[in-house]
């Protein structure tokens, strides 16, 4: 009530005094109003400007935040993997191969022989029935920035007692000189194709006949290997090996080099699905001293002293189609051995001696087809022939070196089931015509690999 009264009073006062204002006073008021307006406009502009910068700052901050988030994400994705280095990274890589088989023969395996060839002591058939194959323990590691080392111990069962053998023990250079590799110690020779591979990597349970006949399944020794890979698009490798020469098919104590080899390999891709490799090798042992081998019907020990030379050719072709687990491998090896020297049964001082010139040759060819990731199958054919001459035909015959024109051969077929890369079950059938009485043989073999994932050579 009071309020309205006072408004009314003041309004009437204004009305009453209205006429009392002079023009100068109005002008003054207008002036004041104008100043007031300008003042407010200024302030509003300042406010608007402030608002705009605030908005821009907010936008920038948002962008900065996004950038920071992205950087954080990136940092998160890039976090290094140092913590994943396993605790045993410095320890050697360990792998263990378990191998065993069941063998069944139509003929008595003890009667086995290869006419024209005198077999080394280790060569022959697996024992009948269940038997443990060679279990292998391999340790390998880079030794330092220059050397790589590997040792393979083989555990074999020999008539109830366990034998541990050093199958391979070598160091090799990895970065000494471009393309040059030097290997030292005990190792399998790079001669041929199959020889450098461990038996568990072979595609059949047993070695090709020619390997059994000439090397007692595989040739290795203590020595030195040099190999050089040329810097060309075509794969060209040349190499040489020097061995002490005490191991079959060489023998005796040699103060220097008893056996040496040279080899050359070339290979390339036809395209991404087809590739090949060819190898030539030469093996030589001069002054073989009393090499021991089995005689005919095990009537004593055959001894050989003299020179031995082997030339070999190997060919491999592989088809590995794209977008598929199928593959095909064709493999062929040929060996040709010339020997000159003397043969004795049991003792060179006895009467059972003869001069000897022998020419032995053999080859095998095999094809392996991988149907899918878990199944492989393959066929193999072996063929040997030989010719022996010397001063005493009877001694050569008793030594097992006389083939009487017989040419040993063998047909093999196998089927493998591979549940994973680390296990393999193999069934193999041989029609073995090593000697005149042909034999049917069946093997069921398992091979398991534990530990480090092995890399497979070509």
Contacts to another protein by CB under 8 A: 73-74, 76-81, 84, 86, 142, 145, 148, 172-181, 227-237, 265-269, 272, 275-277, 318, 320, 322-325, 327, 372-374, 419-422, 450, 453-458
- CA of 160: how far to CAs of 109, 140, 156, 388, in Å? 19, 30, 10, 38
Question: Is the peptide bond prior to 324 cis by the omega test (within 30 degrees of 0)?
Answer: no
* 317: enclosing H helix or E strand: strand 301-319
Q: How far is the CB of 318 from another protein (least distance, A)?
A: 6
Nearer to another protein, 142 or 397 (CB): 142
Q: How far is the CB of 257 from another protein (least distance, A)?
A: 13
Phi-psi region of 290 (alpha: psi -120 to 50; beta: other; left: phi over 0): left
Give Dmax over CA atoms of the chain in angstroms: 167
Nearer to another protein, 125 or 312 (CB): 312
Nearer to another protein, 259 or 370 (CB): 370
* Sequential DSSP letters for 192-228: SSSTTS-GGGSSSSS--HHHHHHHTT--EEEEEEEEE
Q: How far is the CB of 394 from another protein (least distance, A)?
A: 45
Provide the token pair at 431.
């029609």
Q: How far is the CB of 424 from another protein (least distance, A)?
A: 14
Q: How far is the CB of 448 from another protein (least distance, A)?
A: 10
Return the closest-CA partner of residue 380 out of 310, 321, 331: 331
* 15: enclosing H helix or E strand: helix 2-18
Rounded Cα gap, residues 288 and 309, in angstroms:
11
- CA of 233: how far to CAs of 199, 267, 388, in Å? 31, 10, 44
Nearer to another protein, 36 or 450 (CB): 450
Nearer to another protein, 182 or 379 (CB): 182
Nearer to another protein, 253 or 323 (CB): 323
Nearer to another protein, 55 or 374 (CB): 374
- Give me the phi and psi of 43, to 5 degrees please: -65, -40
Nearer to another protein, 132 or 238 (CB): 238
Q: How far is the CB of 305 from another protein (least distance, A)?
A: 28
Q: How far is the CB of 228 from another protein (least distance, A)?
A: 7
Return the closest-CA partner of residue 398 out of 163, 187, 118, 91: 118
Nearer to another protein, 85 or 351 (CB): 85
Return the closest-CA partner of residue 348 out of 257, 256, 251, 260: 251
Q: How far is the CB of 158 from another protein (least distance, A)?
A: 31
Rounded Cα gap, residues 167 and 152, in angstroms:
6
Q: How far is the CB of 143 from another protein (least distance, A)?
A: 12
Q: Among all chains, which residue has been given the structure tokens 């323990």? A: 137
């Amino acid at each position: 009530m009071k309020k309205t009264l006072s408004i009314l009073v003041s309004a009437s006062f204004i009305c009453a005094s209205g006429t009392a204002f002079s023009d100068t006073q109005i002008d003054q008021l207008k002036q004041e109003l104008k100043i007031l307006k300008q003042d407010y406009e200024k302030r509003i502009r300042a406010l608007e400007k402030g608002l705009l910068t605030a908005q821009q700052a907010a936008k920038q901050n948002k962008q900065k935040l996004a950038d920071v988030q992205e950087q954080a994400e990136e940092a998160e994705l890039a976090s290094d993997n140092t913590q994943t280095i396993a605790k045993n990274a410095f320890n050697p890589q360990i792998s263990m191969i378990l191998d065993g088989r069941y063998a069944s023969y139509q003929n008595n395996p003890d009667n086995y022989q290869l006419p024209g060839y005198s077999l080394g002591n280790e060569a022959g058939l697996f024992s009948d029935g269940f038997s443990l194959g060679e279990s292998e323990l391999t340790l390998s590691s880079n030794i330092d920035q220059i050397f790589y080392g590997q040792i393979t111990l083989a555990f074999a069962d020999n008539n109830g007692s366990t034998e541990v053998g050093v199958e391979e023990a070598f160091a090799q250079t990895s970065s000494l000189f471009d393309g040059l590799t030097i290997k030292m110690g005990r190792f399998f020779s790079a001669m041929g194709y199959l020889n450098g591979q461990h038996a568990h990597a072979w595609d059949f349970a047993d070695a090709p006949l020619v390997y059994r006949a000439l090397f007692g399944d595989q040739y290795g020794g203590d020595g030195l290997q040099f190999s050089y890979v040329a810097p060309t698009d075509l794969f060209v490798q040349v190499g040489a090996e020097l061995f002490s020469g005490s191991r079959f098919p060489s023998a005796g104590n040699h103060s220097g080099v008893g056996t040496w080899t040279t080899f050359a390999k070339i290979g390339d891709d036809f395209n991404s699905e087809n590739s090949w490799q060819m190898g030539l090798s030469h093996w030589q042992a001069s002054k073989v001293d009393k090499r021991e081998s089995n005689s005919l019907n095990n009537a004593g020990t055959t001894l050989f002293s003299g020179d031995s030379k082997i030339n070999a050719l190997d060919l491999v072709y592989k088809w590995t189609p794209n977008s598929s687990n199928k593959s095909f491998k064709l493999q062929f090896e040929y060996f040709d051995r010339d020997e000159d020297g003397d043969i004795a049964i049991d003792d060179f001082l006895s009467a059972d001696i003869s001069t000897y010139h022998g020419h032995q040759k053999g080859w095998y060819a095999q094809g392996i087809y991988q149907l899918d990731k878990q199944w492989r199958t393959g066929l193999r054919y072996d063929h040997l022939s030989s010719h022996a001459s010397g001063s005493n035909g009877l001694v050569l015959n008793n030594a097992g070196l006389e083939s009487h024109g017989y040419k040993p051969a063998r047909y093999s077929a196998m089927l493998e089931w591979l549940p994973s890369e680390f296990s393999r079950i193999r069934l193999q059938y041989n029609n073995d015509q090593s000697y005149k009485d042909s034999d049917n043989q069946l093997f069921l073999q398992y091979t398991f690999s534990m530990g480090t994932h092995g890399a497979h050579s070509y």
